[in-house]
Structure 1
């Protein structure tokens, strides 16, 4: 995503926190399952694990799904707070591999080594678009997820999602950012694939001033068990918005029926990920 759009969306979210009707931010705020966080090397260098975990707890997160570049960051957080952190294995050794990892034939071996050594609930978040989803490296990722019974956290267009399901019709995919697609397209994709879920990380189009957009409301009401929220700490600075983002999330969730809000806010994530028995070499 272009940097200026990222900055605009970050500013929009922060503004909504400041001005939105925080009806949910009361004495007993709704817990949050954050399905999209990163703790990459530039983050842990600035924000040590204890401080990062303290921020997550201050935000009222009951669980946080974390990936990082490299995976060492995720392991640092998991060691600090195994009750809070759900590790996801990213195929990036460092920043700057977003557009090249799928062409790197050494990636599958790295993933296999980490999967044998550490416990995870998913592979991702990874970036893959269109026909690149059919490249050998990506095909091996799909196979590894199937072998280890892991979710795929895919930052993709709809085409790449379709290609991954063709490789494994039984795959379980969490569609990062709901594909940055419009709610009608998201609804159509959810209707086609029972094993597709969507995170809402870095989306601000679904809610304005604490009110849920009509198109997104239709999607949430039609598929209340298929959405999760996320902060997306893609830069170290984003970590300092975790608390505000959680409060903003509670504000717009309060515009939905309570049962739907609770599903999106935390129950869906808990049902899908928190029950996975973590152990190296897979989750079974």
Structure 2
């Protein structure tokens, strides 16, 4: 329809047509109507990590029961009367054992060759005892040529790795000697013992010292420990000869002191180990001491003569002690500490 003809329409009709045109135009150019529920998009599913990619929760290793822990015995005298040690050690769960022979060093060396990896030979103990008995103060003051010759022989065996420790050196057994055995009492910081301790430091081997905890000897021991912090001293039978307060003080003051706990049922026929109660269990103060210094104690048996039944009993006794400790302390006492000391040897 042309504009000229629309102008001739009646006014009301023209107005209606105009309104209709506006309405039709709004349907095509106005905003889109709001979306209905039917038109709403579905939410995207949450992203989940594949099970295989998730980190596994940390697992806590199951502690080894005390009855199954390997044991390293650092107060075992390698005497020639021992036979079948591989089978005996396997039976009782002893990984290795060692210290000095009651006689010449060659006895320990021979047994170590018979049982490689099971016997740890220490040396020098028998020579020191012999020299002290024959020379007296000239021995511990290192004034005799025989002492110098001994020290040279000992160093050669340490240098080539034949010996892995020094001892057992008896500086004071006046209150702890086995009935009928010789009594020794000379300064723990004497010239001879200092020379031995220097060898301990030079070759990184432990030195086993038998010393009663008399005040004078303790003072000498502290001077020895301070004389060379590279040396390592194993205080033999610590559980028999010193109380908890003293040992705690010494362990705190001297990082190069270690306690070797070779327990005996009695000493000289009458004195029982003060660390045990009447049932053979650790007293609480001793248990706490070991827990407080778990890196500083090692096991020992110290049988006076080869006797497999007694050795089985002693190792069984030690497993009873291990059961009274936390798993971590028990493992260190059983073998970790001893192996760490022996691995340091060069």
Task: Please say whether Structure 1 and Structure 2 have the same fold, judged by a TM-score greater than 0.5.
Answer: yes
Alpha-carbon contact 2:100-2:124 (below 8 Å) kept: yes
Q: Measure, in 1, the Cα distance between the counterparts of 2:104 and 2:323.
A: 36
The unaligned stretches of length 5 or more in structure 1 are 1-22, 277-282
Match of 2:328 among 253, 259, 262: 259
Answer yes or no: is 1:221 the counterpart of 2:288: no
Match of 1:150 among 199, 205, 209: 205
Larger Rg: 2
The 3 A distance-change label for structure 1 pair 98 and 212 is: farther
RMSD: 2.7
Match of 2:91 among 50, 58, 63: 58
The 3 A distance-change label for structure 1 pair 250 and 99 is: farther
The unaligned stretches of length 5 or more in structure 2 are 1-64, 173-184, 265-272
The 3 A distance-change label for structure 1 pair 153 and 81 is: same
Q: Measure, in 2, the Cα distance between the counterparts of 1:60 and 1:125.
A: 24
Q: Measure, in 2, the Cα distance between the counterparts of 1:167 and 1:30.
A: 36
Secondary structure at the aligned position of 1:216 is classed as: helix
Q: Could you tell me which residue of structure 2 aligns to residue 166 of structure 1?
A: 226
The 3 A distance-change label for structure 1 pair 99 and 232 is: farther
Mapping of 1:107-256 within 5 angstroms?
A: 107-117=147-157, 119-129=162-172, 132-156=187-211, 157=213, 158-178=218-238, 180-203=241-264, 204-208=273-277, 209=279, 211-233=281-303, 235-236=304-305, 240-256=309-325
Q: Between Structure 1 and Structure 2, how many residues are aligned?
A: 245
Alpha-carbon contact 1:92-1:98 (below 8 Å) kept: no
Instruction: Select the structure with the greater relative contact order (CA < 8 A; seq sep ≥ 6).
Output: 1
Q: Measure, in 1, the Cα distance between the counterparts of 2:189 and 2:205.
A: 19
Q: CA deviation at 1:86?
A: 1.6
TM-score, L = length of structure 1: 0.76
Q: CA deviation at 1:131?
A: 6.1
Q: CA deviation at 1:66?
A: 2.4
